[in-house]
Amino acid sequence: MPIISYTPEGADGPLASLEVGAKYDTTYFPGDLNEAPYFIVFRAKKRFKVSSLADTKVAYKSVETEFGTERGGFESIVDVVKAGVQAVGEFASTLENDLGISISQPAHSFALPVPSSLQTSYNAQFNTAELGQLGQTGRQIAENFQSTGSGNLISDLQNAVNQSNVLEKENLEGILTGLGAGAAGAEGATSALIGLLTGGVGGAVLGTVAGNIGTGALRGLGIARNPHIANVFTGVNFRQHNFQYKLIAKNRQESDTIRDLIRNFKYHMAPDYKAAGHVFSYPSQFEIILRAGDYLFKIGDSFLTSFDVNYTGEGGPVFFEDTNAPYSVTISMSFVEDTIVTKKEIRQGR
């Protein structure tokens, strides 16, 4: 087990070592896991803004020392320290705001074997939408739309309409039916389409079609409108990863490791109070590293959303006689990534 040093001004008790400021090493379970070629590292880390140092105010008491004011004195020394701290904060502000690089402090790392089930999944969300005749027309126009750089949207849309086939006789009849009585002829249809695409700017006022009458007429003619169904992309969900382990201790040291592992995961999963209990600070993030070569995948920084512990992993209470530690413990963990996967993340190995 790593030796953890902690200052007496901080928290105390069994969770004192989990506070930011303590020094940590990676703990392996089982104890000889570091000799194995494959394992997973779960590293909890707390994010914080180093840029806040840019506004640091250093308090000090003016004293007369042997250095004296003629040699700069204590006040000047503190001013130098303050300037240095603020310079670090300004540099961090550039990293965070301009380059998108956030600073974090690692807390504790645990290495566990690769579980028997190691899976990931990718998703793209689509909704089925009925574009209708007008929607299909709009899609055709969009495919031919090119900005001329003139700043005249109406003129660019006019060119896109003219380059599409929407003004051909059969298409025009369908468009006119959809637009209602407000548009007549090719010129009226074009004007109405542009009005629809621009929210009414420079376009005609669209008429309405009585739904029931239109439906009855189509039924009587034995025809039906083509709804022009399309898949509309709506976004990407965050990936989730689940890990299940059955941990059996071979000795007291491994029992202690299991105990500390459980405490750490619980601790870093939980939020903390801020502002006299009126708001929460975010839980720690976990960096999950697969030490198993280049043929697998990477996992983005994640939050621990579920942590289940069963202290009777053998189906009943089995404990070591000398320590009263459970012989077998099963844990189940669920993580959700903090960023979605785009082509950029795929290129980076996600």
Query: How far is 40 from 165, CA to CA, in rounded Å?
Result: 57
Greater confidence (230 vs 258) lies with 258
Average pLDDT over residues 241-262: 95
Tell me the β-bridge partners of 310. Answer: 330
Average pLDDT over residues 268-291: 90
267 has a pLDDT exceeding 80 = yes
Query: How far is 184 from 177, CA to CA, in rounded Å?
Result: 10
Query: How far is 241 from 276, CA to CA, in rounded Å?
Result: 34
pLDDT of residue 187: 57
Query: How far is 143 from 108, CA to CA, in rounded Å?
Result: 53
Segment holding 212, helix H or strand E: helix 211-221
Residue 150, both tokens: 């003139």
pLDDT of residue 217: 57
pLDDT of residue 236: 94
Question: Strand 279-281 relative to strand 272-274: parallel, antiparallel, unpaired?
Answer: antiparallel
Q: Tell the residue number behind the tokens 């189509």, with chain if given.
A: 218
Query: How far is 139 from 153, CA to CA, in rounded Å?
Result: 17
pLDDT band at 63 (very low <50, low <70, confident <90, very high): very low
pLDDT of residue 281: 87
Greater confidence (194 vs 161) lies with 161
Question: Strand 104-112 relative to strand 26-28: parallel, antiparallel, unpaired?
Answer: parallel
Greater confidence (100 vs 40) lies with 40
pLDDT band at 113 (very low <50, low <70, confident <90, very high): very high
Q: What pTM, to 2 d.p., does this model score?
A: 0.62
pLDDT of residue 11: 40
17 has a pLDDT exceeding 50 = no
pLDDT band at 292 (very low <50, low <70, confident <90, very high): confident
Query: How far is 277 from 286, CA to CA, in rounded Å?
Result: 25
Average pLDDT over residues 273-301: 90
pLDDT digits (tens, 9 = 90+) for 183-223: 445 555 555 555 544 444 333 333 344 455 556 655 665 76
